[in-house]
C-alpha cells in the first residue's frame, strides 16, 4: 500500500529525457576528436619517425608561462642523473636568460 507521504509527481512525463537523449546522441555522433579519444580503438596521432628525428638532438628549450613548465622541470630535476639530454626551461618569470651562443 502507498502512504500519503509518497508523491509520484511528473513520474510519467519523459519529454525532458528524450530531449537530453537527442542532444547526447548528437554529441556522440559528431566527429569530435575529444569524444573519439574516449573510445577503445583510438590511436594516438604521433608518428614514430617524427619522434626518432628528435632522438639525435642533445639540447632542448621548453618555453612556458607560470605553472605550465614547472611540472616538466620538476620531473627533469628528479631524473637529471638518468637523462642524457640538456633542457633549458624558459618561464615568463625570468626577465633575463643566459644564452649559450656556441650551440
Is the Cβ–Cβ distance between 62 and 87 less than 8 Å?
A: yes
- Could you report the per-residue pLDDT of 15-31, keeping only the tens digit for each? 667 788 888 888 878 87
* Letter string b/e over residues 38-53, b meaning 16 or more CB atoms within 10 A of that residue's CB: eeeeeeeeeeeeeeee
Using DSSP, state whether 91 is helix, strand or coil. Answer: coil
Tell me what pLDDT residue 101 has.
66
- Could you report the per-residue pLDDT of 42-96, keeping only the tens digit for each? 777 667 887 888 888 999 998 887 777 888 899 999 998 998 899 988 877 655 6
Cα gap 43→45, rounded to integer Å: 6
Report the predicted TM-score, pTM, of the whole model to 2 decimal places: 0.45
Cα angle, residue 59 at apex, residues 83 and 103 outer, rounded to 5°: 145
Cα gap 91→9, rounded to integer Å: 58
Residue 97 has pLDDT above 70, yes or no: no
Amino acid at each position: 500500500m502507498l502512504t500519503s507521504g509518497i508523491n509520484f509527481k511528473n513520474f510519467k512525463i519523459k519529454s525532458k529525457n528524450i530531449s537530453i537523449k537527442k542532444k547526447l546522441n548528437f554529441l556522440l555522433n559528431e566527429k569530435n576528436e575529444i569524444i573519439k579519444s574516449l573510445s577503445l580503438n583510438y590511436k594516438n596521432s604521433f608518428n614514430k619517425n617524427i619522434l626518432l628525428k628528435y632522438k639525435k638532438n642533445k639540447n632542448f628549450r621548453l618555453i612556458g608561462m607560470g605553472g605550465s613548465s614547472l611540472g616538466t622541470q620538476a620531473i627533469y630535476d628528479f631524473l637529471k642523473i638518468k637523462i642524457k639530454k640538456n633542457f633549458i626551461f624558459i618561464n615568463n618569470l625570468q626577465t633575463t636568460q643566459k644564452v649559450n651562443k656556441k650551440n
